[in-house]
Amino acid sequence: METESGGWTAIQKRTSGSVSFDRTWTEYRDGFGYPNDSYWIGNDVIHQLTKGSNSSLYVSITLQNGTTLYERYHQFSVSGEDDIYKLFLGGPASGTLGDRMLDTGSPDYLDLSGMSFSTPDRDNDRYIGNCAALSSRRGGWWFNWCNSAFLNGPWSSALWSTPWHPTVTDGRLIQETLMMIKSS
């Protein structure tokens, strides 16, 4: 609650592999896990918290060596299930992690703003296959042509490729991830 003047709500947290993020559409919709360890608050809750308000998103990754990197997006919202939990981001992004979600300086296939949520059992990305079902991903996220940012991969595994490219390229480097939102 002390981050950037407090008032944040954690929507995703991972501190161990005790909770698998290889989950179904329904589980990501409703939420799962344990707030003191690892959890996803639920896409319905994220939608309710961000609809009709100007919210910010704060993403942090703590590495195994204790270094914490972060990125803040000044506009963040997620549409409802009827719109496939579409992600909306606005910038500018700022922080030490590097912008890999909005990615306005890169090709369109890396930009996650406007992308619908995908899970292994619900393919909503632009890739010919299902990014959420690939062995190097296996988890829900706002995929475009797969990812250069993905915080819900197979915990502490070499299979968890590009959690936040190019800053964090191997999931085994991660000690903790955290996504928080607050109304601006």
Alpha-carbon distances, residue 8 vs 3, 67, 169 (angstroms) = 8, 21, 27
Mean pLDDT of the chain: 91
Picking from 27, 4, 1, the residue whose alpha carbon sits closest to that of residue 152 is 27
Least confident piece of the model among 2-16, 78-92, 162-176? 2-16
* 91 CB-near residues (< 8 Å, 6+ apart): 73, 74, 75, 99, 102, 104
pLDDT tens profile 59-96:
999 999 999 999 999 999 999 999 999 999 987 899 99
pLDDT tens profile 96-133:
999 888 865 666 667 888 999 999 999 999 999 899 99
Compute the distance between CA of residue 150 and CA of residue 59 in angstroms, rounded to an integer. 11
Domain boundaries, given as residue ranges, for the chain: 3-183
State the pairing for strand pair 9-14/39-40. antiparallel
Q: Residue 88 gets which letter from DSSP?
A: E
Decide if 120 contacts 133 (C-beta within 8 A): yes
pLDDT for position 109:
64
pLDDT for position 104:
59
pLDDT for position 92:
83
Q: Which CATH superfamily is domain 3-183 in?
A: Gamma Fibrinogen, chain A, domain 1 (3.90.215.10)
Which helix or strand (DSSP H or E) is residue 44 part of? Answer: helix 43-50
* 133 CB-near residues (< 8 Å, 6+ apart): 120, 121, 123
